[in-house]
Chain A
Amino acid sequence: MISWITDPLALANPMSVQTADASLDSRLWSGRRRTMRRNLTALLFLLPTFLFLAIFMYQPTINVIYHTFFRWDGFTVERFIGFGNFTKMVSDPNMHIATRNLGWFFLGWMLQRISPFLVAELVFNLRRERTKYWYRTLFVLPMVVPFLVTIMIWKFIYNPLPAIGVLNRMLGSFGLEEWQTAWLSEPSLVILALLMVSFPWISGWPFMIFYAGLQQIPSEVLDASVMDGCNVWQRMVRIDIPLVVTSIQLVAIQTMIGIIQDFAFVLIMTAGGPAKASLVPGLLLFMSAFRGDNMGYGATIGVTMFIAIFILTLLSFRYTTSPFARTRRTRET
């Protein structure tokens, strides 16, 4: 992946040809002028992009980081308070609740995103290519529905009315009326209910990535495993998982970043309720910055989340090296 980032610059370098041209020219000033012109052309090509990035990416980022040190309602900077926002955050009971909830969401969503691997295996182990194709297509088909619409349909599923909510109605028709409840207003249930949204969690890009990963396994390896009398389970644990570990890591990293920062889901489903039972740090940022006039505090939460994401990403990249090495050895032997 990394080499793919750097390679284009090295590969597509027309410089070698051009410098040869210039030396033929032997007149230094004309070569210099050509370089100047090339730089100018590149500048013009890059100008729109960097204009956008400077205004809407770099400036806001720096602005936000700067203002974490102030008490600030977004329009008038009141005063410099040093690390006051950070100390406030560390002792803020809301932040404690939000962090604890995030821990649960983190665990649940991680399992959710990794679990499609088992389904990918189920489909991959079918015999006929045609059947595989149909299962694969059908499993990813619900992805055409915008995520928000899926969420809203699940809100309908969790509707508290016994006659309307799909889940409550289902319990009713099984004679389990006493289990009917307001799923999203029950502090002890709300996180579990949110985690169950879009059960069985197959339709999505993790499934696609896992399946693609399984397809990348060299067929000789699979053939050899059959020769050696490996059963499906052994093959999955000993061959498939070590060989697609990069796909799993990719999904895990993406999930991690997503979980920490996305709060639209919780905002729509419960808005953090009932009584902060499903509050997450992103939502706390949103609430304090845009609903509570404390931009400086919101900015502080944002910066903290950024640091957390950054460290977690670095850590997971660190751990990618060892499975890589193991994979390579497996493939050689």
Chain B
Amino acid sequence: MTEQTVDQPFSSTHDDAQSELGTQLKSLLHHALLVFLLFLTFFPFIIAIFTSLKSFQQLLVNFWLPAFPLQLNNYVMAWNEIYRSIINSSLVSLGAVTGVLLCASLAAYAFARIDFAWRDAAYYLVLSLLMIPSVLTLIGRYLLIVEFGLMNSLWGLILPYIAGGLAFAVFLLTGFFSDLPEELFEAARMDGGTELQMYRMIALPLSRPIMAIVGLLTFLSSWGDYVWPLLVLRSPEKFTLMLGLARFTGNNQVMFGPLMAGYVIASIPTAIIIILMMRTFAGAALLGAFK
């Protein structure tokens, strides 16, 4: 494929200088178009970062470019406004990730490695949940949370998030566990290993990359959720980051600097996690063929 793409523009047009020029012009246009699209893609984020470093007066006078002195104080204000909700969101997301990884890996191990009665039926019972959209369960889950007295509690987020992430996690992990070579397990079985030991000593250590992906997906979906926390949480000190940001936005009609600073701060945790993941083992698998 590489050879082909390198060869293609030259293969037939090598002869005369005129078409050589034409090729170059075309390639220039090609790059210009891509750079323009990149500019449009990044434009809102660049404006947000510039605005986050300006006072309101600076924004009115100099809208498009960074203005000096930089108002780093905006970030302090934003941090004071949302740090509490960042902590809450971290607790919720970590709880959800831990729960999903623990339950799903156990279940997936059973589906992939233990031959038990009604295995297929049980597996399809889990998979069928992939078809159920979250709007359908929204009302029912809300009533449960009310009934369990979990309103305005972070547990009211963590437990449904775990349940919501399980079906897909089980699906991914079962596929992975069943691709592990049977010889490993056979050897352990000969030595009298129990299933729990095999799960802990063989399956888990070998499945770190896929676990990282499942963890990442769970983290991102719980971190970015808005509707469910809006229903469950009432008091501002319990708010998750997205709720906190929405409240900050709503309370705030003029202080665009601190507001944008809040948006930048809110993007940092996800940015760090995604970039770390891309740089380490999970990256290759995460992006699949897209390396």
Is A325 at the interface (CB under 8 A from chain B)?
A: no
When chains A and B are docked, how far (Å) is the Cα of A303 from the Cα of B263?
35
Q: Is B9 an interface residue (CB 8 A)?
A: yes
Residue A272 at the chain B interface, CB threshold 8 Å: no
Q: Which of A9, A127, A208 contacts B123 (CB 8 A)?
A: A9
**Which segment of A96-104, A184-192, A195-203 sits at the interface?**
A195-203
Question: B123 contacts A226, CB within 8 Å?
Answer: no
B270 near A290: Cβ-Cβ < 8 Å: no
Distance in angstroms between the alpha carbons of A55 and B103 in the assembled complex: 14
Within A130-171, which residues are at the interface with B (CB < 8 Å)? 135-136, 138-139, 142-150, 152-157, 163-164, 166, 169
- B38 beta carbon closer than 8 Å to chain A: yes
Q: Is the CB of A4 within 8 A of B175?
A: yes
B263 touches A153 (CB 8 A): yes
| Cα distance, A155 to B6, chains bound together (Å) | 43
* B143 CB–A CB distance under 8 Å: yes
Other-chain residue from B34, B110, B127, B132 in contact with A46 (beta carbon distance below 8 A):
B110
Residues on B with C-beta less than 8 A from A315 are none
* B171, B231, B289: the one within 8 Å of A290 (CB): B231
Could you tell me the distance in whole angstroms from the C-beta of A280 to the nearest C-beta in chain B?
11
Within the complex, the shortest CB–CB distance from B1 to chain A, in Å, comes to: 4
Q: Contact at A53–B287, with CB atoms within 8 Å?
A: no
Contacts of B143 in A (CB 8 A): 60, 63, 74, 295
User: In the assembled complex, which residues on chain B have CB atoms less than 8 Å from the CB atom of A39?
Assistant: 116-117
Name which residue of chain A comes closest to B145, CB basis: A56
Find A144's partner among B44, B123, B275 (CB 8 Å cutoff): B275
Of A106-114, A174-182, A211-219, the one with at least 4 CB within 8 A of chain B: A211-219
Q: Select one of A152, A155, A263, A305 contacting B227, CB under 8 A.
A: A263
Q: Does A322 sit at the interface, judged by CB under 8 A?
A: no
Residue of A42, A59, A157, A200 near B144 (CB, 8 A) is A59
- Nearest-neighbour CB distance to chain A for B146, whole angstroms, equals 8
Q: Provide the bound-state CA to CA distance between A257 and B133, in Å.
A: 8
CA distance A122 to B123 in the complex (A): 42
Measured between alpha carbons, how far is A13 from B226 in the docked complex, in Å?
42
Query: How would residues 25 to 63 of chain A score, 1 for a CB under 8 Å from any chain B CB and 0 otherwise?
Result: 000000000010011011101101110110111011111
Report yes or no: B166 in contact with A53, Cβ–Cβ below 8 A. Answer: yes
A61 contacts B114, CB within 8 Å?
Answer: no
Of B14-22, B72-80, B176-184, B206-214, which binds chain A? B176-184
What 0/1 pattern do residues 47 to 90 of B give for CB contact below 8 A with A? Answer: 11001000000011001000000000000000000000000000
In the bound complex, do residue B5 and residue A56 qualify as a contact, i.e. CB atoms below 8 Å apart?
A: no
B34 touches A285 (CB 8 A): no
Q: Which residues of B contact A260 (CB under 8 A)?
A: 133
Quick check: A153 and B48 within 8 Å, CB to CB? yes
Check if A146 sits within 8 Å of B266, measured CB to CB: yes
Q: Are B289 and A212 in contact (CB under 8 A)?
A: yes
Contacts of A169 in B (CB 8 A): 63
Instruction: Check A202–B37 contact: CB distance below 8 A.
Output: yes
Please determine whether B114 and A286 come into contact, CB atoms closer than 8 angstroms. no
A15 located at the interface, meaning its Cβ lies under 8 Å from any Cβ of chain B in the complex? yes
Question: Does A206 count as interface, using CB distance less than 8 angstroms?
Answer: no
Asked if residues B138 and A222 are in contact (CB atoms below 8 Å), the reply is no
Mask: chain B, 113-137; 1 = CB below 8 Å from A; 0 = not: 1111101101100110101111111
In chain A, residues 264-300, which have Cβ atoms closer than 8 Å to a Cβ of chain B?
A: 264, 267-268, 282, 285-286, 289-290, 295, 298-299
A222:B135 contact, CB within 8 angstroms: no
Instruction: Let me know if A223 is at the binding interface, CB within 8 A.
Output: yes
Closest to A215 in B: B289
- Chain A residue nearest to B44 (CB atoms) is A153
Q: For residue B4, which residues in chain A have a CB less than 8 angstroms away from its CB?
A: 219, 222-223, 226
Report the nearest A residue to B169, measured CB to CB.
Answer: A49
Q: Is the CB of B159 within 8 A of A261?
A: no
Which residues of B in the span 242-262 have a Cβ within 8 Å of any Cβ on A?
Answer: 242, 245-246, 249, 256, 259-260
Is A237 an interface position by the 8 A CB rule?
A: no
B231 touches A282 (CB 8 A): no
CB neighbors of B among A111-132 (8 A): 119, 122-123, 125-129
Check B187 for interface membership: any CB of A closer than 8 A: no
State A122–B4 Cα separation when bound (angstroms). 16
Contact of B2 (CB < 8 Å), options: A50, A55, A129, A163: A129
A142 touches B41 (CB 8 A): yes
- CA distance in complex: A125, B111 (Å): 43
Give the distance to chain B from A238, nearest Cβ to Cβ, in Å: 16
**Is the Cβ of A8 less than 8 Å from the Cβ of B174?**
yes
11 A-B contacts (beta carbon < 8 Å): A45-B114, A48-B103, A123-B34, A142-B45, A145-B270, A147-B224, A148-B246, A208-B287, A212-B287, A267-B227, A295-B139
Contact surface of A with B, Cβ cutoff 8 Å: 4-5, 7-9, 11-15, 17-18, 35, 38-39, 41-43, 45-46, 48-50, 52-53, 55-57, 59-64, 74, 119, 122-123, 125-129, 135-136, 138-139, 142-150, 152-157, 163-164, 166, 169, 198-200, 202-203, 208, 211-212, 215-216, 219, 222-223, 226, 229, 257, 260-261, 263-264, 267-268, 282, 285-286, 289-290, 295, 298-299, 302-303, 305-306, 309-310, 313
